Chains A and B, each alone.
Chain A
Amino acid sequence: MFDRRLLQCFDWGLLALTLSIGTAGLVALYSAVSAGAVEPELTLFRKQLIWYGIGFGAMIFCFLFDYKQFERFANFIYLASVGSLMAVLFFGKYVSGSRRWLSMGPFTLQPSEMAKVAVIIVLARYFAKLINTDGLTLRDLMVPAVLTAVPFALIVRQPDLGTAMVIALIAGAMTLFAKIERRALSWLIATFTMLVPLVWFFLRGYQKQRILTFLNPDRDPLGAGYHIIQSKIAIGSGMLTGKGFLKGTQNALSFLPEQHTDFIFSVLAEEWGLMGSLSVVMLFLIIIAWGLSIAGRCRDPFGTMLSVGVTAMIAWQVLINVGMVMGLMPVVGVTLPFVSYGGSSIITMMIGIGLLMNVSMRRFKFE
């Protein structure tokens, strides 16, 4: 039953990359939760270790059996995910004005994180069948548009604009990779250009504020504008070699908002300098390139699209999060993969890695 080639083809490189980034993330989290406190508050750090444990379990589960199973159960996975998003709207826990969490005994889960993977799987299955040299027509795009729009709308309702945006961007990247017919593409570009001003009207007050603040940080000296300025000071003050482990003053003085989740990159950059921040950014770049190469070597359309989707998820989140803390993007709640604190985020990313490994280690099947 067990194929020896599975072990031979196991992607040790991807595992090593994941472990490296994970380790860097834990170090940064330790700084974020302990610095400046009367005594280190390690509850979050310990919880993150547990999340990593669960994440590894999920990763192993995801590469144990053939990823073709995911293609078979794609619709089921997708429907379950949409169901959990609806459940959040009705039974979700309110935390500062939005409903994003479902209580599961002692743990709370964020179904919107899992929804990313569900959308990737269902779109990969759909595109795998249609992919062709001429590209997809507008009609072909109807189904993926609806498949994306449903979870997107449910997540916007929570409201969690950051995650909703990431789902849309993943879907967009997968679609573009699958190629869109030239005529359809020009139609799409025209429509989107016209839609942008309309979207403005659907944004909530605080969301508009954030975009305006991004354009002009002085608008909100007590909120986002202050956060971005402090985050930039933190990153820049790290200079080449950083201030040293647990020596970050910006972090210690609580100048950074959400320093263990959204702004954790600033903590890392402050304490480890360009040396540390550049290493982490390069690690991410290598993981992304690795993911694309897995896609490239896979001989099966579903496996390829699955890898592209997971890679796109990692790439978008890194770009948005790091861009945001450096003041290149508006402040949106998007986590830094493998580094930010949060069970749902860690587990989702580890599932993604598991899927990549699965595709990678079964490439021989098509040779």
Chain B
Amino acid sequence: MEQEYVLSVKVNNNNGVLLRVSGLFSRRCFNIKSLNAAETEEPNVSRLTIVVAGDLKVLTQIKNQLLKLYDVHEVRILEDAVTREHILIRAGRSDEDRHKIIEIANLYRAKPVDIGKDSIMLELTGEPAKIDSFIELLKPFGIIKMVRSGITALERD
């Protein structure tokens, strides 16, 4: 059955490592929903958090093919993990909109980071589902620009 999986992939922090991983996904027709790359506690190692869509067979293929890349050290399919996403979003068309947006922001504990004449920019960190519903609520006010970080995740102990 097709569903989304979160992979946590430890890779060498080299030039080109993102290209190697994304190239693998593209040439093997694996579907990336989001990809987040950042340094870890070890400077030579980066952690990629990749959300993929597929069935179990595809998931096994992705894992095995990734492990064949020289720069990939470890691939974990996350089951019990803390997953977070960060969003920056600007919305609103009027002073009135702005006030209503701030009300919603308070409910979600989103933080205003830039206030314009008619619109406001907010930031929010949370589970992807929370981010989704936040975006839905802001849609009526007109979303001007937004950027999602993609999911980052770490396994629970």
A, B co-complexed: no
Q: A-contacting residues of B (Cβ < 8 Å)?
A: none
